[in-house]
Chains A and B, each alone.
Chain A
Amino acid sequence: MTGGIGMSLLYRKAMDALYLACIIIAGTALVLISAVIPWAVYTRYVINRAASWPEPTAVLLTIVLTFFGAAACYRLGLHMNVTLAVGLLPKAWRRASDIFVELLMAAIALFMAVKGTGLVAATWANTISDFPSLSVGVTYLPIPLGGVILLLFVIEHLTIGPPPDTADGHETAAFE
């Protein structure tokens, strides 16, 4: 029993660390995106020699931001969903529905991990024209990695429940 609790605590701590890593990676990508595009403007208007690399770099960073950030959002239950129908269900049914959703999430996480790895492998030998030394496969790596992280967060939800700081959407910056 104590061993089980100890394992749960250990897994929770590991997931906390993984969440933090996702946010740091995605946050760094956001800051870099915000820096490279103004640099493109600077090189075009001030140096008079437009740099071609900032735009593709920003696109690559966007992939990093999206897939690491998406997994982190899932852990905290921030993704938009329709709660209208589920809200009408009795508590036991709602719990069953939550478990079913987690299993479906595991399926899509596996899809991202497996098919994403396939995409990385298939494009590994190709290179990006703006960065001849960079493999296209590397740019797709955040997809399978994001899938694996998402799967780990789903396992956390299913076994020891969502983290205590799971919040509603107000913890995010406004979009709509």
Chain B
Amino acid sequence: MDILVLLGCLFALFAIGMPIAYSLGLAAIVGAMWINVPLEAVMLKIADGVSKVAMLTIPFFVLAGAIMAEGGMAKRLVAFANVLVGVVRVRGGLSAVNIVATTFLSGISGSSVADVSAIGSVMIPQMEKVGYPRAFATNVTISASVQAIVVPPSHNAVIYSLATGGLISITSLFMAGIVPGLLLGASLIALVIFIGYRDGHPRGESVPLRAAMKITFDAMWGLITILIIIGGILGGIFTAIEAGAVACLWAFFVTMFIYRDYRWRDLPALVHRTVKTVAMVMTLIACASAFGYVMALMQVPAKITAFFLTLSHNKELILLLINIMLLVLGCLMDLAPLLLICTPILLPVVSTFGVDPVHFGMIMLLNLGIGLLTPPVGATLFVGCAVGKVSMQEVMKGIWPFYGVMLAVLMLVTYVPSISLWLPRMLGM
């Protein structure tokens, strides 16, 4: 009955269109009243939710990503990726350039939507100009952007870490995301090259050495951000929070003083946009903290675990069921709230089956990342259609091979734990 009251109230609030963050808060209040928990405890949990040091990572990485993505980094990364891919001159070369550039930007922005806006606005017109269908170029861009959900500094990896109650370090998740992200990128490159040869897409063009050197030098300033984040954390120089803060300063320095693509008078608007994003996410985390507290008091995770055990004792089957459930939920809701709601419920279930929490984090991130490309609630899909100036119907017609590859990678990440765990274990995490 407790579960019914708590989750029933939550889903009813979702259904009437109440903001997700406040739905979580209100459901927590109703749940607390139902089990006679003082409302002061709910208030305290909301306050505690935003008083964690780990939360500081969010404003830094959102701000650094926004500065880099909006400040002319994308066109330099595209040029650099063109240098790298141009060496092999394969058919579908520009598609591969798109994916490689997105891989680099993902390592800076941590956001799939930012990648699509930044890379898409450069790559989609460029691809169309040489003969690629616009919808195909959009599909390449949005599919590649899912890498940003798993590779460091993934904003959603930070959310997952917070959703585990700090059980899993952000650093472990950042390191665990590198191989799955690169695997996804490589698989998508294989797909676009296959489609390139099948459909006769144009070959990539090599860049003359002198120009290549200039482009590489130009892009290096931005790529140093990746070095600051990954190298700084791995080298023990910075914590994840400090890496975010230094990356933020570096992004500001490169954009304003080296690239000079961003005007000083645009900065207040950038801060304004970042404030709104950060406040939205923080509110979500604060209210989810109270909801998680009431859920724990009602022993919801334990009851859900018991329910899953009645279904099967087979780990592989349970992981498949969870994947299917998350794929469906990912079609209906945004990524961050799903991470905050589902992690405390599902992590105890998979832990019973011996699944590593870091590994499960990668499964959730990749799975829900695919959800960003599915209608009716796919933020990346919407932004991709807007940037690519194509209808959703056109994009959906050609997206199936990309879904296929992403699902294949999801299955690999699900059933081969070492893809996620090899790097963190090698680094002693």
- Sorted from nearest, which 5 A-B pairs have the closest CB atoms? A69-B279, A79-B19, A174-B114, A37-B245, A174-B113
B254 contacts partner chain A, Cβ-Cβ < 8 Å: no
Q: Max chain B CB contacts within 10 Å: which of A34, A84, A118, A174?
A: A174
A15 contacts partner chain B, Cβ-Cβ < 8 Å: no
Closest to B26 in A: A108
B47 contacts partner chain A, Cβ-Cβ < 8 Å: yes
Contacting pair A100 B16 (CB below 8 A): yes
A103 and B159 CA atoms in complex are apart in Å by: 29
Contacting pair B21 A79 (CB below 8 A): yes
B178 contacts partner chain A, Cβ-Cβ < 8 Å: no
Which residues of the partner chain A approach B29 to less than 8 Å between Cβ atoms?
108, 111
Binds A, one of B61-69, B135-143, B316-324: B61-69
A140 contacts partner chain B, Cβ-Cβ < 8 Å: yes
B383 contacts partner chain A, Cβ-Cβ < 8 Å: yes
Q: Closest CB of chain A to B271's CB: distance in Å?
A: 5
Q: A79-B19, A84-B332 are in contact. Are A66 and B286 (CB under 8 A)?
A: yes
Contacting pair A33 B336 (CB below 8 A): no
A149 contacts partner chain B, Cβ-Cβ < 8 Å: no
Q: Give the secondary structure class of B's interface.
A: helix
Which residues of the partner chain A approach B18 to less than 8 Å between Cβ atoms?
81, 101, 104-105
B249 contacts partner chain A, Cβ-Cβ < 8 Å: yes
A16 contacts partner chain B, Cβ-Cβ < 8 Å: no
Contacting pair B17 A175 (CB below 8 A): no
Binds A, one of B183-191, B303-311, B374-382: B374-382
Contacting pair B17 A101 (CB below 8 A): yes
Which residue of B19, B56, B238 contacts A74 across the interface (Cβ within 8 Å)? B19
Which residues of the partner chain A approach B272 to less than 8 Å between Cβ atoms?
23, 27
Question: How many of chain A's residues touch chain B, expressed as a range?
Answer: 35 or more
A119 contacts partner chain B, Cβ-Cβ < 8 Å: yes
B241 contacts partner chain A, Cβ-Cβ < 8 Å: yes
Which residues of the partner chain A approach B15 to less than 8 Å between Cβ atoms?
82, 85-86
Render B247-289 as a binary contact track against A, CB cut-off 8 A, 1 for contact: 0110000000000000000001011111111111111101000
Binds A, one of B38-46, B342-350, B415-423: B38-46
Which residue of B26, B284, B377 contacts A107 across the interface (Cβ within 8 Å)? B26
B156 contacts partner chain A, Cβ-Cβ < 8 Å: yes
* A and B contact pairs by CB, cutoff 8 A, 23 listed: A23-B275, A30-B59, A30-B274, A33-B56, A37-B244, A38-B248, A41-B242, A59-B56, A65-B282, A69-B279, A70-B21, A76-B276, A79-B22, A82-B17, A84-B377, A85-B17, A86-B15, A119-B40, A143-B43, A170-B386, A173-B65, A174-B109, A174-B277
Which residues of the partner chain A approach B278 to less than 8 Å between Cβ atoms?
30, 65-66, 69
Q: A81-B17, A82-B15 are in contact. Are A34 and B280 (CB under 8 A)?
A: no
Q: Closest CB of chain B to A106's CB: distance in Å?
A: 11
B25 contacts partner chain A, Cβ-Cβ < 8 Å: yes
A115 contacts partner chain B, Cβ-Cβ < 8 Å: yes
Contacting pair B270 A83 (CB below 8 A): no
Q: A65-B279, A175-B336 are in contact. Are A34 and B249 (CB under 8 A)?
A: yes
Q: A37-B245, A66-B283 are in contact. Are A174 and B17 (CB under 8 A)?
A: no
A132 and B59 CA atoms in complex are apart in Å by: 27
Closest to A29 in B: B275
B14 contacts partner chain A, Cβ-Cβ < 8 Å: yes
A34 and B377 CA atoms in complex are apart in Å by: 32
A72 contacts partner chain B, Cβ-Cβ < 8 Å: yes
A165 contacts partner chain B, Cβ-Cβ < 8 Å: no
B72 contacts partner chain A, Cβ-Cβ < 8 Å: no
Which residues of the partner chain A approach B273 to less than 8 Å between Cβ atoms?
171-173
A78 contacts partner chain B, Cβ-Cβ < 8 Å: yes
Which residues of the partner chain A approach B334 to less than 8 Å between Cβ atoms?
80, 176
Contacting pair B69 A34 (CB below 8 A): no
Contacting pair B65 A176 (CB below 8 A): no
Contacting pair A72 B65 (CB below 8 A): no
8 Å CB contacts to A: which residues of B92-125?
Answer: 109, 111-114, 117
